[in-house]
Amino acid sequence: MEDNLEEILERKTKELEIVQRVAVALNASNEVKTIALLMLQLMEEYFDFQHSILLVLRPEEGLLEVVATHGYEVDNLGKTIRVGMGVIGMVAKKQRLMRMANLGAQRKYMQAISKNTGNEAVAGQIVGLPDAESQVAIPMMAEDRLLGVLSIESKKINFYNPQDETLVTTLANLGAVSLKNALYLQQVEEAREQLREINENLEQLVTERTKELADAHADIVSSISYASRIQREFIPRSTTLQDHLEDFGVVWQPRDVVGGDFYWFQPQGNGYLVGLGDCTGHGVPGAFMSLVSISTLNRIVRENDLKDLSSLLKQFDASLRAQLGRSEEENRDGLDFGLCHFNPNEQRLRFVGAKMSLFHINSERVNEISGARKSIGYDTARKRPFRDEIEIPYSSGDTFLMASDGVIDQMGSETRMCYGKQRLEKFLTEHKEDPAQQICDDLIATLSAYRGDNTVLDDVTVFCFRPN
Give the C-alpha separation, 372 to 234, whole Å: 26
Q: What's the pLDDT at 124?
A: 41
The letter for the amino acid at 1 is M
Which range is least confidently modeled, 168-172, 198-202, 365-369, 399-403? 168-172
pLDDT given for residue 112 in this prediction: 65
Measured between alpha carbons, how far is 63 from 184 in angstroms, rounded to an integer?
Answer: 19
Instruction: Please check the confidence at residue 427 and state whether its pLDDT lies above 90.
Output: yes
Do 300 and 279 contact (CB within 8 A), yes or no?
no
Residue 152, pLDDT above cutoff 60: yes
Task: State the amino acid at position 111 in one-letter form.
Answer: Q
Is the Cα dihedral 229, 232, 233, 234 positive or negative?
positive
Contact between 146 and 57 under an 8 Å Cβ cutoff? The reply is: yes
| Greater model confidence, 294 or 157 | 294
- pLDDT tens digits for range 229-249: 888 898 999 988 988 888 999
Of the ranges 283-297, 320-334, 377-391, which one carries the lowest mean pLDDT score? Answer: 320-334
Helix (H, G, I), strand (E, B), or coil: what is residue 268?
strand
Give tens-digit pLDDT for 213-230: 999 888 888 888 888 888
CB 457 within 8 A of CB 444: no
Q: What's the chain's Rg over C-alpha atoms?
A: 49
CA–CA gap between residue 365 and residue 350 (Å, rounded): 19
- Most confident of the following: 180-184, 211-215, 225-229, 444-448: 444-448
CATH numbers and ranges of domains, the chain: 2-186 (3.30.450.40), 228-467 (3.60.40.10)
The pLDDT of residue 57 is: 92
Residues 251-261 have a mean pLDDT of 92
Phi–psi pair at 243, nearest 5 degrees? -75, -20
CA torsion angle 380 383 386 388 (round to 10): -170
- Please tell me the predicted confidence (pLDDT) of residue 199: 92
pLDDT for res 249: 96
Q: Do the beta carbons of residue 394 and residue 439 sit within 8 Å?
A: no
Among the ranges given (325-329, 408-412, 464-468), the one the predictor scored with the smallest mean pLDDT: 325-329
Give the integer Cα–Cα distance in Å for 297 and 318.
Answer: 12
**DSSP β-bridge partners for residue 245:** 467
Q: How far apart are CA 152 and CA 40, in angstroms?
A: 9
Mean pLDDT, residues 396-421: 92
| Residues 185/177, Cβ–Cβ less than 8 Å | no
More confident residue, 163 or 81: 81
Mean pLDDT of 13-42: 76
Question: Which spans in 234-280 are helix H?
Answer: 238-244
Task: Output the CA–CA distances (angstroms, integers) from residue 441 to 113, 260, 265, 438, in the order listed.
Answer: 102, 20, 20, 5
Per-residue pLDDT reduced to its tens digit, 321-373:
888 765 555 567 899 999 999 988 888 999 999 999 999 999 889 999 999 98
User: When comparing pLDDT for 379 and 463, which is higher?
Assistant: 463
CA distance 281 to 103: 94
Q: Which of residues 392 and 39 earns the better pLDDT score?
A: 392
Round to whole Å and give the CA distance between 82 and 59: 10
Read off φ and ψ for residue 415, nearest 5 degrees. -80, -20
Q: What is the pLDDT of residues 86-141, one digit of tens each?
A: 889 999 999 999 988 777 766 666 666 666 655 544 444 457 788 888 889 999 88
d(CA 349, CA 81): 106
What's the confidence (pLDDT) of residue 380?
56
CA–CA separation, 311 and 313 (whole Å): 5
What three-state secondary structure class fits 462?
strand
Non-local CB neighbours of 445 within 8 Å, separated by 6+ positions: none
- The number of beta carbons lying within 10 Å of the beta carbon of residue 304 is 11
CA angle 45, 46, 51 (to 5 degrees): 60
